[in-house]
Structure 1
């Protein structure tokens, strides 16, 4: 099935589900999953980037406040501090994830949600605490227990079944 056809199906499903919701009926199928039933999602938690931002803010405050050129009524300084705190909060609330569908994997990257379809997956490597999805084009996707608190054991088991289903090389170390 072509991607343009899948997009048309997804768009029509969204319209039908909106109509069914207005009538108080249950949706036919999840339109978010791209029409593919059985999308399994593994969520992580981002701690390192917010911690780095908060340490950076602390360093910035200490260096700036102890400086002789610091003006007590400088509002732009406090706006900058507030913006960095909000950015750290955004990184905590935007949980990273890996969604595994029938013929794709999806993850949240810095630029937004990205898909890798089976045709672009070179191989999948799993080792204790890490799962790596290798692509033909582009960089590898690395999911780490240390960096983002992913349940890597469960992810590896599901990705192994995904690899067997789609004929992708799977190596476990």
Structure 2
């Protein structure tokens, strides 16, 4: 549905629910969101680098700044930032009926089928090649800890449904 239509449906649903509530009837529930399959990975390289940096910083300057509390706060913050990124900043790919979404640096980015140039699948990677600026979304089993088997099967279905070019590579 178009956004204007969705807003109109939502507005009418709210007024109908107010009227039904006054009459003692059950509310109308409508979820305008499409069903989306979510694939979650786990980023581990940046958190590992931050934790190793904190450990190296603590070992290298232990004798010089061991009495300074800001030194220990800095070491602890690097370690906590690494743990936070490992636990909460996960790579995510959402595949819906008509859209694909991924978490980028500035937030979630949604793609329509017309924006996708090609989908490249191999046993350990899944690449979504965009038409604009030759940008690629790359998801790997090693770096992103994504379930590539399930992800590849779902991307095949998406490519077949929308006529997106699909290339399968074998290694």
- Residue of structure 1 aligned with 2:131, choices 132, 136, 139: 136
Query: Which residue of structure 1 aligns with residue 36 of structure 2?
Result: 39
Corresponding residue for residue 161 of structure 2: 165
User: TM-score, structure 2 length as denominator?
Assistant: 0.79
Q: CA deviation at 1:78?
A: 1.6
- Give 1:86 shift: 2.1
Secondary structure at 2:142 match in 1? helix
1:72 Cα offset (Å): 2.9
How many residues matched? 157
Residue pairs, 1:1-173, within 5 angstroms = 1-2=1-2, 4-5=3-4, 8=7, 12=10, 28-29=30-31, 35-36=33-34, 38-66=35-63, 70-94=64-88, 95-138=90-133, 139-173=135-169
- State the Cα RMSD in Å: 2.7
For residues 90 and 166 of structure 1, what CA distance do their matches in structure 2 show? 38
Return the alpha-carbon distance in structure 1 between the equivalents of residues 119 and 37 of structure 2: 17
The structure with the largest alpha-carbon Rg is 2
Aligned with 2:58: secondary structure? helix
Structure 1 gap ranges (5+): none
**Cα deviation per residue 1:53-99 (whole Å; 9 max; x = unaligned)?**
11111111112214xxx233312212212221221122112222110
Deviation at 1:25, TM superposition (A): 7.5
Cα offsets for 1:28-58 (capped at 9, x unmatched): 32x6xxx22x211111112222111111111
Q: Gaps (5+ residues) in structure 2?
A: 18-25
